[in-house]
């Protein structure tokens, strides 16, 4: 009878959520924003002790679902951040939340669904990985990013005890129900256990392959068993008292990313990146059932306190409820928890906005109500590569692929693997029809795509083939730029469609004249992370690790005007304001991504900073009337900004100020007497700045002060100001920004030797 009653509650909740869901798009918005579309990717889920509440920790905040009544509440504050840690107090009065890149722990009053208090983390701590209440809810225990265990007094908000552990970098974390035991798993297959009551760290235990990340961990209710899920597609059960392996559960065909024990400890649910959930008998270690229904990988699992229902969260944006006894799905509880928005476009009518997720699923939103209108799924893939909307959002093009993906539940980033990639597909959103053309039969993995401003041309960058472009209406190939090197993240037309540029961190930026198909790339451009044309087409801006470079576009070519050198141009997005006077560029060096604003004429930082995303910003797009800015992110949301108010505030804040040019003058190319002198300058620069090139077997590696890049055989590697193109003969053509370029070979001790043959670059 109890089970039937709970099922009825769930069915009623589904109807309520569908019909009477609250509008949470305006809750907890940052200054200047007018709406948030999407709820963020799911990191973890927890049921309240009585099973009537489901808390969902996402990349942007907490969503609290009142199961019996269908109420959906967004718990957001002035401290935006990922939520990777949640726990209910046993008296059901308080919910604690914390997470990655989040400087506080929030305590929420569950009677009022409002913020109760805030626990501020020490300045050196920026992330909490797990939380649990203890000692009759008077103490909150947290595990921070360094593996340290912290005890907080819930009433005074003060730390009362620290347990310092050995520093470790972990990918998964778990805490026992009583708060006494903690476990972490790292990218080397190593699991560490701590007894929080005795401050004792157990010996390391590892049986997963050393090159396979531990992705998820879970304790049994009695704390005697620890389960670990890995990228190696297995689940291992460990005896925490004997610190020995009990069994290895095999059956998944993809990385295991989610685990949950039933309340009685007799069943364990396991979810993988291949959309599959399995139920296992803990005592016999045998599989009991397989649950199929999600259309993307599983990110979180949790049982209701009575064990009668299993809730699963997925990268497909849904939460589903299952009966673990019958292996049947009750219902799809809610939707909208999307991961990684890759593309955004405004419709010309000013009423709708189209977004595309990493799966190629397109959603169309009403900008006035901030509600989703339609979903287009015909181009859905496991993991879409490039995806681009046409101007006006009537068409979109993508190159999908099969495989699996696992998003990091404790931060940003993902693991992806798969057997292959699909062809280029062009779709009409208004008719839901695919547009056929020669691009469908193109061999090779197109990794950048673009529409011309008039929507008549489709261009693609294909490694070892170059830039190819077709007339969309006739299918005729119009352009073929012979650039047989890999391409980066972007392919951009100028506003008049006369120029086409491509850029990427490890490849040289290229600019072509579309009419003459002539390469007009200015000298010394490389390692550009972002690129944009001004609305009038007279300025080219590109982000470089040493700043943002502004260049004038004239009939005679592209000439550098100056550089904003007090800004690190690492972000992959660069956008001009509609009037061309302000340049928008994300700053990824802060705790959370910030969109900074710069005066184009003087290079002055205007002081306006837009914050609100919790992961890398993927797009910055203005509406056709220039009044709204849309920013999308890896956090799975789109923020809509009132640009009129933002620009008015900037004007007010800078009223009366006289800006002098802060642009650093263009670098004057160094003139050398010969190639040997230029090669010597390159070598000296590499030594001075601690760059080293090594070869092991057939793999070349470039190591810099803060990063490294490698390739097998011929290819391209780069880091910072250094770009290296390696041909099959082993000749390294090294280019250093602002210094020069020359061909080299490596001797047996990996010393660079100048190669006397002419450098074709």
Q: Would you say 533 and 540 are in contact if contact means Cβ atoms under 8 Å apart? A: yes
Residue 758 has pLDDT above 70, yes or no: no
Residue 446 CA to residue 459 CA, distance in Å, equals: 10
> Which one has a higher pLDDT value, 349 or 483?
349
Least confident of 199-213, 331-345, 690-704: 199-213
Query: Is 683 in a helix, a strand, or coil?
Result: helix
Residue 137 CA to residue 90 CA, distance in Å, equals: 7
Work out the mean pLDDT of the chain and round it to a whole number: 86
Least confident of 220-229, 657-666, 686-695, 710-719: 710-719
pLDDT at 324: 94
pLDDT at 403: 87
Residue 6 has pLDDT above 50, yes or no: no
Residue 70 CA to residue 87 CA, distance in Å, equals: 21
pLDDT at 469: 92
Residue 301 has pLDDT above 50, yes or no: yes
Residue 424 CA to residue 440 CA, distance in Å, equals: 5
682 phi and psi, to 5 degrees? -65, -45
Q: What is the mean pLDDT of residues 699-703?
A: 89
> Which one has a higher pLDDT value, 84 or 738?
84
b/e per residue, 272-286, with b = 16+ CB within 10 A?
bbbbbbbbbebeeee
Quick one: tokens of 373?
A: 């209108």
Residue 671 has pLDDT above 50, yes or no: yes
Residue 262 CA to residue 314 CA, distance in Å, equals: 19
* Token pair 């879409």 in the structure block, residue: 384
Residue 349 CA to residue 373 CA, distance in Å, equals: 15
Strands 732-736 and 244-249, by their bridges, are: unpaired
Quick one: tokens of 321?
A: 């409820």
Residue 482 has pLDDT above 90, yes or no: no
pLDDT at 620: 96
Q: What is the mean pLDDT of residues 450-466?
A: 89
Q: What is the mean pLDDT of residues 98-109?
A: 89
Quick one: tokens of 84?
A: 């990777």
Contacts of 130 (CB under 8 A, 6+ apart): 84, 85, 142, 143, 173, 174, 175, 182
Q: Would you say 371 and 365 are in contact if contact means Cβ atoms under 8 Å apart? A: yes
Residue 3 has pLDDT above 70, yes or no: no
pLDDT bin (cut points 50, 70, 90) of residue 487 is: low
pLDDT bin (cut points 50, 70, 90) of residue 228 is: very high
pLDDT at 10: 44
- The total of other beta-carbon atoms located within 10 Å of residue 232's CB is 21
pLDDT bin (cut points 50, 70, 90) of residue 455 is: very high
Residue 318 CA to residue 12 CA, distance in Å, equals: 17
- The β-bridge partners of 85 are 98
Q: What count of residues does the chain have? A: 761
> Which one has a higher pLDDT value, 422 or 368?
368
Q: Output the pTM of the full model.
A: 0.88
Q: What is the mean pLDDT of residues 306-318?
A: 94
* Token pair 């003459």 in the structure block, residue: 516
Residue 329 CA to residue 595 CA, distance in Å, equals: 42
DSSP state of 663: P
Residue 698 has pLDDT above 70, yes or no: yes
**Tell me: the pLDDT tens digits for 109-166?**
999 988 998 998 887 777 899 999 988 999 999 988 877 888 999 998 888 888 776 6
Residue 220 has pLDDT above 50, yes or no: yes
Q: What is the mean pLDDT of residues 375-402?
A: 91
Query: Is 223 in a helix, a strand, or coil?
Result: coil
Residue 354 CA to residue 361 CA, distance in Å, equals: 10
Residue 17 has pLDDT above 70, yes or no: no
Residue 18 has pLDDT above 90, yes or no: no
**Tell me: the pLDDT tens digits for 529-572?**
789 999 999 999 988 767 888 999 988 889 988 888 766 656 78
Quick one: tokens of 677?
A: 């002198």
Count H helices and E strands in the chain, helices first.
Answer: 3, 64
* Token pair 């609305």 in the structure block, residue: 535
pLDDT bin (cut points 50, 70, 90) of residue 13 is: very low
pLDDT bin (cut points 50, 70, 90) of residue 14 is: very low
- The total of other beta-carbon atoms located within 10 Å of residue 157's CB is 14
Residue 20 has pLDDT above 60, yes or no: no
% of the chain exceeding 90 in pLDDT: 50
Residue 206 has pLDDT above 80, yes or no: no
Residue 492 CA to residue 569 CA, distance in Å, equals: 18
Tell which residue, 698, 701, 732, has the closest CA to residue 719. 701
Query: Is 16 in a helix, a strand, or coil?
Result: helix
pLDDT bin (cut points 50, 70, 90) of residue 353 is: very high
DSSP state of 439: G
Q: What is the mean pLDDT of residues 62-81?
A: 84
Q: What is the mean pLDDT of residues 579-607?
A: 86
Residue 337 CA to residue 318 CA, distance in Å, equals: 6
- Cα angle vertex 67, ends 63, 73, to 5°? 30
> Which one has a higher pLDDT value, 187 or 554?
554
pLDDT at 699: 86
Q: How far apart are the first and last CA of the chain?
A: 78
Q: What is the mean pLDDT of residues 426-450?
A: 88
Strand ranges (DSSP E) for 31-103? 33-37, 42-47, 53-58, 62-66, 71-75, 85-88, 94-98
pLDDT bin (cut points 50, 70, 90) of residue 12 is: very low
pLDDT at 209: 61
């Amino acid at each position: 009878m109890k089970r039937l009653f709970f099922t009825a509650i769930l069915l009623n909740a589904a109807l309520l959520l569908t019909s009477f869901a609250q509008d949470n798009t305006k809750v907890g918005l940052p200054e200047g924003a007018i709406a948030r579309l999407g709820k963020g990717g799911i990191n973890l889920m927890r049921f309240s002790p009585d099973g009537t509440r489901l808390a969902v920790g996402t990349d942007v905040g907490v969503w609290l679902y009142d199961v019996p009544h269908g109420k959906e509440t967004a718990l957001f504050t002035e401290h935006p951040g990922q939520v990777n840690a949640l726990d209910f107090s046993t008296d059901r009065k308080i919910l604690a939340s914390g997470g990655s890149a989040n400087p506080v722990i929030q305590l929420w009053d569950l009677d009022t669904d409002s913020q109760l208090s805030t626990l501020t983390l020490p300045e050196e701590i920026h992330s909490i990985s797990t939380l649990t209440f203890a000692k009759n809810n008077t103490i909150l225990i947290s595990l921070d990013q360094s593996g340290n265990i912290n005890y907080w007094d819930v009433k005074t908000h003060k730390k009362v005890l620290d347990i310092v552990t050995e520093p470790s970098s972990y990918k998964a974390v778990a805490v026992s129900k009583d708060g006494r035991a903690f476990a972490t798993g790292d990218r080397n297959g190593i699991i560490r256990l701590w007894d929080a009551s005795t401050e004792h760290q157990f010996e390391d235990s590892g049986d997963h392959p050393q090159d396979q990340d531990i992705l998820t961990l879970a304790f049994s209710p009695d704390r005697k068993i620890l389960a670990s899920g890995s990228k190696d597609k297995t689940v291992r059960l460990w005896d925490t008292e004997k610190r020995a392996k009990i069994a290895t559960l095999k059956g998944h065909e993809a990385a295991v990313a989610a685990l949950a024990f039933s309340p009685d400890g007799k069943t364990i649910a396991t979810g993988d990146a291949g959309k599959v959930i399995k139920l296992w008998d803990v005592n016999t270690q045998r599989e009991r059932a397989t649950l199929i229904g999600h259309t993307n990988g599983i990110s979180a699992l949790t049982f209701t306190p009575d064990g009668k229902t299993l809730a699963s969260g997925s990268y497909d944006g849904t939460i589903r409820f299952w009966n673990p006894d019958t292996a049947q799905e009750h219902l799809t509880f809610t939707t909208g928890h999307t991961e990684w928005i890759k593309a955004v476009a405004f419709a010309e009518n000013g009423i709708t906005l189209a977004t595309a997720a990493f799966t190629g699923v397109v959603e169309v939103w009403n900008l006035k109500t901030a509600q989703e209108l339609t979903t287009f799924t015909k181009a859905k893939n496991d993991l879409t590569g490039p995806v681009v909307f046409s101007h006006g959002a009537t068409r979109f093009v993508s190159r999908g692929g099969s495989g699996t993906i696992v998003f990091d539940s404790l931060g940003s980033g993902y693991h992806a693997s798969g057997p292959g990639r699909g062809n280029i597909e062009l779709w009409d959103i208004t008719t839901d029809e695919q547009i056929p053309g020669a691009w469908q039969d193109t061999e090779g993995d197109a990794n950048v795509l673009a529409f011309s401003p008039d929507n008549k041309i489709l261009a693609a960058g294909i490694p070892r083939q170059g830039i190819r472009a077709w007339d969309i209406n006739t299918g005729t190939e119009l352009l073929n730029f012979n650039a047989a090197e890999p391409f980066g993240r972007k392919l951009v037309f100028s506003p008049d469609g006369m120029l086409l540029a491509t850029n990427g961190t490890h490849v040289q930026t290229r600019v072509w004249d579309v009419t003459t198909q002539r390469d007009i790339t200015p000298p010394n451009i490389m390692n550009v992370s972002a690129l944009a044309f001004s609305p009038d087409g007279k300025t080219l801006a590109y982000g470089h690790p040493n700043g943002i470079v502004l260049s004038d576009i004239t009939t005679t070519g592209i000439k550098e005007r100056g550089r904003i050198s007090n800004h690190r141009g690492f972000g992959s997005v660069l956008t001009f304001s509609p009037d061309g006077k302000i340049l928008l560029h994300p700053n990824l060096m802060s705790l959370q991504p910030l969109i900074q604003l710069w005066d184009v004429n003087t290079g002055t930082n205007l002081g306006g900073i837009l914050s609100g995303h919790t992961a890398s910003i993927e797009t910055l797009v203005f509406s056709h009337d220039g009044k709204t800015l849309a920013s999308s992110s890896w956090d799975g949301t789109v923020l809509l900004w009132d640009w009129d108010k933002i620009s008015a505030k900037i004007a007010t804040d800078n009223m009366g100020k006289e800006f002098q040019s802060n642009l650093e003058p263009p670098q004057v190319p160094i003139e050398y007497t010969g190639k040997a002198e230029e090669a010597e300058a390159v070598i000296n620069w590499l030594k001075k700045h601690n760059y080293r090139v090594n070869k092991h077997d057939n793999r070349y590696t470039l190591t810099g002060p803060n990063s490294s890049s490698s390739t097998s055989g011929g290819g391209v590697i780069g880091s910072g100001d250094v770009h290296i193109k390696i041909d099959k003969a082993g000749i390294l053509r090294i280019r250093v920004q602002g210094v020069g370029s020359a061909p080299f070979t490596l001797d047996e001790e990996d010393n660079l030797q100048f190669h006397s043959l002419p450098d074709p670059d």
